[in-house]
Amino acid sequence: MQPGHRSKAKLSLAIPQPATATERREPAIQVSNLSIVFDTERGQLIAVDRVSFDVPHGEFVCIVGPSGCGKSTVLNTIAGLEVPFEGEILVEGLPVHRPRPDVGMVFQQPHLFPWKSVRRNIAHGPRMLGKSAQQANAIADDLIAMVGLKRFADAYPNTLSGGMQQRVAIARALANQPRVLLMDEPFGALDAQTRAVMQDNLLELRDRIKATIVFVTHDIDEAIVLADRVLIMSAGPGRILRQLNVDLPRPRSNAILLEPTYLALKKDCLDVIRAEGLRAFRQSDET
């Protein structure tokens, strides 16, 4: 078998098998009645209050909301990094108790291992799951090509720009071929131009990997450009205010930012957020 042929076969593994009829009925992620409570110095703080939503297989969902609304907390709980106070989370039908290799995560900061080259950062996951160094490197090299960093395969993270580091982080999260990819404001720390490029890259990448994606952001434009569906969250305590379906044609790019349908959607979002902001403001005024 040719090396090129083999790597292609491996890539196809990243695409989840076509869902069977029973699987299709069962969503990739089920969040039911999720509440999260933090112990603070001033007593208990309800960060997330009875949040429920489903994400079907292959969907791209964005959760938007002001900072501190608990959207990252919801994501961390789906990842198994935080424990719910109440409620249940099922990923691929199985309850989440701890991080699972079929769930990948990209954080706001790249959090690359500074002592590992780009290739070895990406190969880390497969290595940990018991793949040989050769297999893991082959997976890494495929992903490096996919995120366009071929020239930097042997570079170390501290020599890369912020955007490139985040591309490595995305590739690293994809290396374990997760069915679900969680992204916590991954482009939040990047400048506007880089962010736009990264969004386009992610959309291209998404068409190839076909994973279910939950993407948290506070940027409404980003949410609408990327998502099939937008969940708008309120702050203190975190609740889901509204769901909006984004029926914009794909493949999309940043260019849709000026289309009338896009602007109408954005207006809907802003109206919800403004009403909620006013309510929160009055509430804080009263107490």
For residue 18, give both structure tokens.
Answer: 């076509």
Give the CA distances from residue 197 to residues 122, 151, 162, 182, 207, in Å, rounded to whole numbers and listed in that order. Answer: 21, 18, 13, 19, 16
Closest to 170 measured CA to CA, from 213, 137, 115: 213
Contact call for residues 29 and 89 (beta carbons, < 8 A): yes
Contact region with other proteins (CB under 8 A), list: 42-50, 156-164, 196-204, 224-232: 156-164
Distance CA 153, CA 216 (A): 28
Q: Which positions from 116 to 155 touch other proteins by CB under 8 A, shown as an x/- string?
A: --------xx--xx--------------------------
Phi-psi region of 227 (alpha: psi -120 to 50; beta: other; left: phi over 0): beta
Of the residues 165, 176, 177, 212, which one makes contact with other proteins according to CB under 8 A: 176
Q: How far is the CB of 287 from other proteins (least distance, A)?
A: 33
Q: How far is the CB of 136 from other proteins (least distance, A)?
A: 11
Closest CB to other proteins among 124 and 229?
124
Q: Which of 24, 93, 113, 271 binds other proteins (CB under 8 A)?
A: 113
Site string for other proteins, 91-110 (x = CB under 8 A): --------xxx-xxx-x-x-
Instruction: Please report how close the Cβ of residue 122 comes to other proteins at its closest, in angstroms.
Output: 10
Residue 158 near other proteins by CB under 8 A: yes
287/188 Cα distance (integer angstroms): 32
Residues that bind other proteins (CB under 8 A): 79, 81, 99-101, 103-105, 107, 109, 111-115, 124-125, 128-129, 156-158, 169, 172-173, 175-176
